[in-house]
Chain A
Amino acid sequence: MSVIWILVGFSVFVAVSFLFLFIWAVRNGQYDDKYTPSVRILFDDEKKNITTNQTSGNNVKGSVDYGNANDQVR
């Protein structure tokens, strides 16, 4: 029967870590805007421009970096 003590301890630990993740997410503002992210995720990563610059080696990976946008897309 003593194995149950270990299991209880472990399950409480796992559950509490998820609770803290949730608290962190709320504090972090992830629950403030519940709509825009659903649109944002559908934007394709920026491709090379349509008219100029055909060299594809320069294809910027994941350049829709909203947190740290920069001017690399030309």
Chain B
Amino acid sequence: MMRNAPEENIKNCFHCGAPSGEMPISHDGKVFCCNGCKAVYEILRGKQLYRYYDFGEHPGVTPSISTNAKFAFLDEPNVNKKLIDFSEDGIVVVSLRIPQMHCSSCIWLLENLHNLHKGIFYSRVDFLKKRLLIKFVENKISFRQVVELISSIGYEPELGLKESDSSHRTKVERSFYLKIGVAAFCFGNIMLFSLPEYLSSSTIDISSRTLFGYINLLLSFPVVFFSGMIFFISAINGLRSKAINIDVPIALGIAIVFLRSAVDVLLQTGPGYFDSLSGLVFFLLIGRLFQNKTYDNLNFERKYQAYFPLAVSVRRNGNDTTIPITLIRPGERMIIRNNEIVPADSVLMTGIANIDYSFVTGESKPSVKSVGDLIYAGGKHLGSVIQLEAIKEVSESEFIQLWNEFGAIDKIKSRLLTLSTTIGKYFTFGILLIALSTAFAWWLIDPGKILDSVTAILIIACPCALALAAPFVFGTTLRLFGKKGFYLKHSSVVEALSKTDMIVFDKTGTITHTERTSIRFNGNSLSKEQRIQVASLARSSTHPLSRSIYDCLQVRDISEVTNFEEVEAAGICARVGGAKVQLGSASFVGAKSPDNNIKQTSVYAAVDGNILGRFEFENVYRDRLEEVLGNLNTSHSISLLSGDDDGEREKLKEIFPNFSEMQFNQSPSDKLSYIKSLQSKNRNVIMIGDGLNDAGALWQSDVAIAVTEDVSSFSPACDGILNAYAFNDLDRFIRFASTAKLVVYWSFVISFIYNIIGLYFAMRGELSPILAAILMPLSSISVVIFSTFVTQYLAKRKGLL
């Protein structure tokens, strides 16, 4: 089936769906927005992979423009052996992370790579993890060529050092499924063999009942010692750190049920509670599964390695070679090209560096460095080739130190489901108290019933339903948030969110759009020729401001640019079709300096000395910002920390609610100490930020949320990742966390009601196995149903569904 309807697609690129602008490229009856997209189309058409376009409209990804040398480092054996999973007999297996894949067309194309090159004989996608597993024959195609091939069709892989935890996670996940499967198997079969007990006891003779008892005992072994082991481990870990978590009474319950039932069967005094036992473990495991939902494609503990390049070009004894960045030693001469990241703190030796620290500081304006200046690791160089001399190793570099310091400690452990832990503590003591007083009472009345009643109390009181409430409520909340673009690291973050009373915002990139600065042209309107002249000049520069100007002019007819000259920190000029065109600061083009009260960045444009006007750049705040802040202000105090100067203070004052604190010119450590000072005043702080300069503050805060335009790309260690488009719902998210906590309390009430009913029978020593087998699953199931549905219902009412 072909979609041969160019008319309907006249506005949008056939490949990627982006608006094709004023000057679309027409080819083969299709419209393309750029040559990159057209090139991909050509490749796919030439190789009979046209069906790529059949699965959905505009499935494509615009390939990034890359130079030939970009992947040259992959030819270095000591670099690529770090990336390759397995290699034997000339067959290489490699797993690549491809963040761009987004639809079924992507899956189809990436799994049909063998049609593009014969050397690749196997490719398989794991969509949720955004991974592509490729097997290829080494002497037909090199690793570098494979990467270049994938990049050429728009799927440039993210090459970083191996994150070793992904295979570990797979292992843990698999063993968890096995545990659930085994528990389910035993649960089902034990119920089957317990059926005679549920029915009238006279129909089955004694010998088969004994047999069924033994079979049940046998089946319960894997339930306790394989599936249920995690509860014992967790309880012991809890006790070791002197905390009684919810798993302590659970483990106690499981142990008592098992022992009591085993004794019952062996002494033939009763059928035992095996059905309750296996059901209990099964439901608890399901709760764990639900609670431990993770977002495979997100990484909340990004190490710097994910962002840094793998290798860098160095000059040794006059020869250029590529070495992995881990081998950089002080004194190494590094060669950094346009758009490459400086991997280690170093001093500039030749050239003029134009360093974009946006990854580190969130500030998008590049800073200019000249020979002899210190350049910190993490900056991206824009411009012509420079040479640097490393003064520190990668791991010693300033920002990496900062990074590692905060990334190293796993905060989540210390506050894992605090609600359940508190409950668990009181619950355990309460149950022990009830058990003891019951024992005492029976000792007075009929000592023969002590053992029966005490074990029955410990069995029925096992807080299965209690333990399920929080996972299901918070787990459901986590999923609902995820659908809306707010991804939490763990369901316990919901609980942590509900306890906060203060929100600290970072400015750049958090409350402002990073990619959308508004550009206003202040001057006479430009003629078409002038627009072409300015756009052609702007296009020749890699400076972000020039790029923004070029994008904003929307011109595709580019004239030839000659005598291009770039004056650092001032502007650019060149001859475009005979006219001298200038772009830059007021003094650079010879304009009158503007009034001092204009704070925003502006770029002047001039042709042949005539000043056309200036482009004004302004931060664009997120759409619903004022409303979000207003809503949050009812429950939280709000403050703002900004690394920038206070140029926009007045404007921000209008947006932020009254009495919110604002601090400008804040360094990373200022931000950290600000959070600390808040916490010393017993505030529970949410920090919302983006770049590495917030890493300290994020780490210190009680809940750290990173805002990002692209969730699969880089973000610092945090508890939650907020997709920028979801920022408008931030108030709803934070408020809903408190609602979720209420639902947990209600679920607790339900579970307590069941417990009281059960305890009534248990204390009288009348808890029959069949009663336990009905009561215990019933309480679990009703808590699960209640918590899931009520959470969903409330979310719907609050506009989160």
Instruction: Tell me the A residues contacting B by CB distance below 8 Å.
Output: 1, 4-5, 8, 11-12, 15, 18-19, 22-23, 26-27, 29, 31-36, 39-40, 42-43, 46, 49-50, 66-71, 73-74
Contact = CB atoms under 8 A, between A and B. Distances in A.
Given A15-B185, A19-B181, A39 B114 contact: no
A44 to B, nearest CB: 8
B48 A36 contact: no
Contact of A42 (B104, B124, B129, B189): B104
Contacts of B50: 49-50
A29 B192 CA distance: 30
Interface string B113-126: 01100100111111
A14 B785 CA distance: 32
Interface string B156-198: 0000000000000010011001100110010011001100000
A22 B182 CA distance: 9
Given A26-B174, A26-B177, A66 B128 contact: no
A36 B126 contact: yes
> Mostly helix, strand, loop or mixed at chain B's interface?
helix
Contacts of A18: 185
Interface string B191-207: 01100000000000100
B107 A39 contact: yes
A39 B177 contact: no
Nearest to B1: A50
Contacts of B124: 66
Nearest to B208: A4
Contact of B170 (A12, A19, A32, A39): A32
B409 interface: no
Interface in B93-130: 104, 107-108, 111-112, 114-115, 118, 121-129
B206 to A, nearest CB: 11
B2 interface: yes
A19 B104 CA distance: 33
A69 B114 contact: yes
A2 B311 CA distance: 74
Contact of A33 (B123, B126, B192): B126
Contacts of A19: 181-182, 185
A66 B177 CA distance: 26
A26 B181 contact: yes
B215 interface: yes
Given A15-B189, A35-B128, A69 B208 contact: no
21 contacts: A1-B208, A12-B215, A15-B188, A18-B185, A22-B185, A23-B178, A23-B181, A32-B126, A32-B170, A33-B128, A35-B127, A36-B107, A39-B127, A43-B108, A66-B122, A66-B124, A69-B112, A70-B114, A70-B121, A73-B48, A74-B48
A1 B205 contact: yes
Nearest to B120: A69
Contacts of A23: 178, 181
Contacts of B108: 43
Contacts, number: 82
A49 B189 CA distance: 53
Contacts of B182: 19
B111 A66 contact: yes
Nearest to A71: B118
B107 A22 contact: no
A4 B124 CA distance: 49
A33 B126 CA distance: 6
A27 B129 CA distance: 19
A33 B115 contact: no
A49 B205 CA distance: 71
Contacts of B756: none
B211 interface: yes
Contacts of A50: 2, 50
Given A66-B124, A67-B122, A70-B121, A31 B107 contact: no
B174 A32 contact: yes
A48 B188 CA distance: 49
B67 to A, nearest CB: 31
Contacts of B192: 11
A69 B122 contact: yes
Interface string B40-80: 00000000101100010000000000000000000000000
Nearest 10 A-B pairs (CB), nearest first?
A69-B114, A36-B127, A33-B126, A39-B104, A19-B185, A22-B181, A35-B128, A26-B177, A49-B48, A31-B177
A74 B174 CA distance: 40
A8 B192 CA distance: 10
A42 to B, nearest CB: 7
Given A12-B189, A32-B174, A69 B104 contact: no
A37 B740 CA distance: 34
Given A66-B124, A69-B112, 4 more contacts: A32-B174, A35-B127, A43-B55, A69-B123
A12 B188 CA distance: 11
A61 B177 CA distance: 35
B129 A33 contact: yes
Interface string B518-548: 0000000000000000000000000000000
Interface in B20-56: 48, 50-51, 55
Contacts of A33: 126-129
A27 B51 CA distance: 34
Contacts of A27: 174
A36 B121 contact: no
Interface string B212-226: 000100000000000
Contacts of A67: 122
A49 B112 CA distance: 15
Contacts of B126: 32-33, 36
B680 to A, nearest CB: 45
Contacts of A35: 127-128
A39 B124 CA distance: 12
A8 B211 contact: yes
A39 to B, nearest CB: 5
Nearest to B188: A15
Nearest to B111: A66
Nearest to A39: B104
